[in-house]
Amino acid sequence: NRTLHLHLQRFNVNCQEWLLKTMCGGVEIRTIYNGNKQCKACLISRLSCERAGTRFNVRGTNDDGHVANFCETEQVIFLEDKVSSFIQTRGSVPLFWEQPGIQVGSHKVKMSRGYEASAPAFERHLSTIKVQYGDQVIVNLLGSKEGEDMLSKAFQNHHKASAFRQDIPHVVFDYHQICRGGRPENLRKVLKPKLEQHNNRFEFFYAEGDNVLRQQSGTVRTNCLDCLDRTNAVQAFIGLE
Q: Please give the Cα distance from 222 to 118 (Å, whole number).
A: 20
**Confidence at residue 104, expressed as pLDDT on a 0 to 100 scale:** 62
C-alpha closest to that of 214 among 88, 89, 83: 83
Residues of the chain with pLDDT > 70, as a percent, come to 95
- Give the CA radius of gyration of the chain: 20
How many CA atoms are closer than 13 Å to the CA of 127, on its beta-carbon side? 10
- For residue 106, the model assigns a pLDDT of 65
Q: 162: burial class by Cβ within 10 Å (0-12, 13-18, 19+)?
A: middle
Instruction: Output the pLDDT for position 183.
Output: 84
End-to-end CA distance of the chain: 39
The arithmetic mean of pLDDT across residues 123-150, rounded, is 95
Q: Is the dihedral of CA 18, 19, 25, 27 positive or negative?
A: negative
Q: What is the pLDDT of residues 2-55, one digit of tens each?
A: 677 677 777 777 777 777 778 899 999 999 998 889 999 999 999 999 998 887
Q: Closest by alpha carbon to 129, among 44, 196, 54, 71?
A: 71
Mean pLDDT of 89-118: 86
pLDDT in tens, 151-199: 999 999 999 999 999 999 999 999 999 998 878 899 999 999 999 999 9
Q: Report DSSP state, residue 208.
A: E
Q: CA–CA separation, 125 vs 103, rounded Å?
A: 30
Mean pLDDT of all residues belonging to the chain: 92
CB atoms within 10 A of CB 68: 25
